[in-house]
Structure 1
Amino acid sequence: MQTYVTDKKRKTIVITLLFIGGTIGFIDKAAINVAIIPIQKDLQLNSFESGLILSIFFFSYALMHPLGGWLTDKYGSRKILVLSIVCFSIFTASTSFAWSFASLFLFRFLFGIGEGSVFPASVRSISENFPNHERGRASSFFLSAQTFGGALGSVIIGALVVSFGWRWMFVSIGIIGVLIAWAFWVYLKSPEDTQINKEKQRQKKVSYKKLFRTKNFWKIFYTKFFSNIVNWGMISWMPSYWVSKGLGLASASTLMFIPYLTSFFMFNVSGWILDKYMAGREKYLAVAGSILSAVFLYLMFNATSVSLGILYMTLNAISIAFIGTSLYTMIIKYSAKELTGSVTGFVSFGGQISGGISPAVIGFVLTIFNGSYNAASWFLIASALAGAVTSLTIKNNGIETKENVLIDQSF
């Protein structure tokens, strides 16, 4: 039977470190979305090449997720988190040395390899340290780090790029990442880890074959895939979109603060709702989020003013927050404890593959249609609707099983 950390102080340290790690990780991977504007000019990149630069990270990042989940289950979350944060921070700083399309492409690929284990290792740490009735709030707080990182990064990255240039910006955030890795190594270890490892060794192993035969696994996998098409398409191209509407780089970067900050609060609200009122019915929050995302995307791309566009972009970001919280809460609650990292890694693999596809497709579409975002908008709307269909087919658990294992029945 799984034991959990009962010390409130210890749990606070764990979730705070995970939140900080998630924040710097998101700042690092989203920094290119602002920096790509001056990078295009300095390295003489066209829209399609820029789209490839934005996308390549997600392919290497996605490929590392299943391996990172397996490594986490084998060696523990602390070791993998520290190693990953050090690696992606070094590769972030290395981006400053890019001198051509090929070199920048290589640095972004390596950066994805470095960061790919952070997410499954973090989710595994939540599963180890929090009981079922707290996991919705713990996972939503951790997931909200990406929106907090987006809000913080949208202001900081834009200011650093304008003030010091994109090269020094990458060096600065790389140094911060190394310092955070040191904090993980020092403060994440505790006496409880030994007990957790002993319990893990006594747990019954669950076959990967059962995982892949489970219908809900693939439904969650594809729901995450389609939601990330929207999420990373928006994150990657929105700064450029607002610049095309006549805003300056600093203004466009600062405006991204609004949807990120709003989503940060809604991530945590949705986690509280899931724990208190939607146990066994988590999928309905994902369904609602997918449908609302499609509606707000349409309204945003057809807005008659920048202020309305930002409002609808913010509402879309909130909708996407509902989807992510619901899916990962289901994984943490209902997947086998000894495979939580692996399950997370495989689902995130699908989500990050779509993150690689979306920026490249949008860049290609913009090149074909001479910078027009009309076709790109329908690509994102169709993806949101596809996510609504797949999330609707997820079967609810209703009652959390004693074994709490992801098996051939529905969740």
Structure 2
Amino acid sequence: MSSSRTNVRWLTLALIVALIVINYIDRSAISYAVEPLTEAFGISKSQYGLISSAFSIGYMVFAFMAGPLVDRYGARRILLVGVAIWSLVTAVTPIAGSFIGLFVTRIILGAGEGPGFPAASRTVSRWLPQKERGIALAMVGGVAVSGSLLIGGPLVSQLIAVLTWKGMFWVLAGLGALWFAIAYALLKNTPEEHRGVSEAERAHIAAGQLEEERTSTVRVQWRPILTNRNLWIIAVGYFAWGFMFWGFMYWLPDYLSSEFQLSITEVGLFTVAPWAAGIVGALIGGVITDRVFARTGSERSRLTIMGTALLLSGAALIPIFTAPSLTVAVTFISIGVGLGFVTGGIWWVAAIDAAPSQPGVAAGFADAAFALSGIVAPSVMGLIVSVTGSFSSGFVVMTVLAVVGAGAMLVLPKRGPGRPQTLDIQSDLVREPR
């Protein structure tokens, strides 16, 4: 083994980022095939709405269930099984044949994609030292998500134009199969399992890990998870951010077209800005998180950064419902989404910090809260628009939830025992007790 430091950990991270990009393109692809799909299967718009919700139901349940499986059997095995399931379901979507068939396939698709972030979080915790996790998980939970929303639309629409909507699903299934083949050969649970990792790189990774993060698999212990105050705080904050994220993901095009009488082409142009801002915000959040942790060694600093970003994100929406115009809407929605994505990857870092011995379970717990917001936000926004005829009250709800989530993260984190309590702010930002 070479004594020089290799960089296999970044190859591993690249595999996870590619996985998340494919994950998000696959889950959103159906929205670009609404017209031909509903016509081919005789499905009404209301039935299509139920089909859309089916994904989040399956995703929420299996994101939570996947956590224990990831910690018990390792991220590699669970990811390979998950990708195999969702790629197969993507391939059979064009031949589902009916409302029931599509409803079931979307639930299964959500179940297959559910392990993605819990397994990604565990992989990062086993492959990178703490000081490198902020930017790494910003790439996974922020840049990959925003980037997939930026490139997914043009990619999927071009595939439909060239290969028809059925061919589009089959190409996406093929991308999943390609990732499976590459990951089967290259992805390992820990650096110790990978023959290409030098002793220097292993030492670098181990020096920045807690003792409990050096294990490959563990048995799940639910009591430390369900009684972990910081995990509940993270879940509340992630739900608040998720409500804004899913609300804009599902309703932003309709808001822009109905409020400002934009064409579909114009809507497509204006919706680029928020997700581009999300990429920038995610990168900034990752850099800030790693630098603050390197300087303070404080895990609670992650919650402080997230709480501040979420508070500013909610505040950025205020001009939209107090002085609405197209320029105001696009500008401040972009600012709000960009600030929200500052938290994009830190949720996973904070979840790992809160329960380092069970990162998969902790990430699944947080991801389930995010998935729950994916069920609640579209329906609540739709109800508000139906009752009031306006999106303004929906933006108020987003702002209120952001303030609540931010307050929880800034005020409620539990102080670790055995540390001196002083007036110095850096010593006040202490570790969560294990």
TM-score after normalising by structure 1: 0.85
Q: CA–CA distance in 2 between the matches of 1:101 and 1:243?
A: 28
Whether the 8 Å CA contact 1:54–1:356 is kept in 2: the answer is no
Partner Cα separation in structure 2 for residue 238 and residue 163 of structure 1? 27
State how far apart, in whole Å, the 2-side matches of 1:202 and 1:163 are: 45
Counterpart check, 1:315 vs 2:335: yes
1:257 partnered with 2:272? yes
Give the C-alpha shift of residue 350 in structure 1: 1.2
Counterparts of 1:79-118 in structure 2 under 5 Å? 79-118=77-116
Deviations 1:218-259 (A, max 9, x none): 111111112111111111222333343433445433443332
Matched residue, 2:419: none
| Conservation of the 8 A alpha-carbon contact between 2:51 and 2:103 | yes
> Match for residue 246 of structure 1?
261
Distance 1:170 1:241 in 2: 28
Alpha-carbon deviations, 1:284-328, whole Å to 9, x = none?
Answer: 222222222223333345665544432222212112112333332
Alignment of 1:10-409 (within 5 A): 10-36=8-34, 43=42, 45-46=44-45, 49-143=47-141, 144-161=143-160, 165-189=164-188, 192-193=192-193, 199-200=214-215, 207-244=221-258, 245-278=260-293, 279=296, 280=298, 281-300=301-320, 305-332=325-352, 334-369=353-388, 372-395=390-413, 407=434
Distance 1:351 1:68 in 2: 15
Q: Between Structure 1 and Structure 2, how many residues are aligned?
A: 398
The 1-side partners of 2:378 and 2:217 are apart by 44
Farther-moved stretch of structure 1 (84-93 vs 70-79): 84-93
Larger gyration radius, structure 1 or structure 2: 2
1:58–1:352: 8 Å Cα contact kept in structure 2? yes
Read off the aligned partner of 2:176 and give its amino acid letter: G
Structure 2: any 5+ residue segments left out of the alignment?
195-201, 207-211, 416-425
1:173–1:202: structure 2 CA closer, same or farther, 3 Å change rule? Answer: closer
Alpha-carbon distance in structure 2 between the residues aligned to 1:282 and 1:82: 30
Higher relative contact order (Cα pairs below 8 Å, separated by 6+ residues): 1
| CA distance 1:201–1:29, change in 2 (3 Å) | closer
Aligned-partner SS, 2:342: helix
> For residues 141 and 151 of structure 1, what CA distance do their matches in structure 2 show?
15
Cα pair 1:289 1:319 within 8 Å, conserved:
yes
Identity of aligned residues (%): 24
Distance in 2, matches of 1:30 and 1:286, equals 27
Q: Aligned pair in 2 of structure 1 residues 384, 323: CA closer, same or farther (>3 Å)?
A: same
- The normalised TM-score by structure 2 is 0.81
> 1: CA distance between counterparts of 2:217 and 2:80?
26
Q: d(CA) in 1 for partners of 2:222 and 2:361?
A: 9
**Amino acid corresponding to residue 394 of structure 2 in structure 1:** A
**Cα contact 1:51–1:363 (8 A) shared by 2:** no
**What RMSD over aligned residues (CA atoms) do the two structures have, in Å?**
3.3
In the alignment, structure 1 segments of 5+ residues that lack a partner are none
* Secondary structure of the corresponding residue to residue 338 of structure 1: coil
| Inter-CA distance 136–26: structure 2 relative to 1 (3 Å threshold) | same
* Distance in 1 (alpha carbons) for counterparts of 2:354 and 2:138: 17
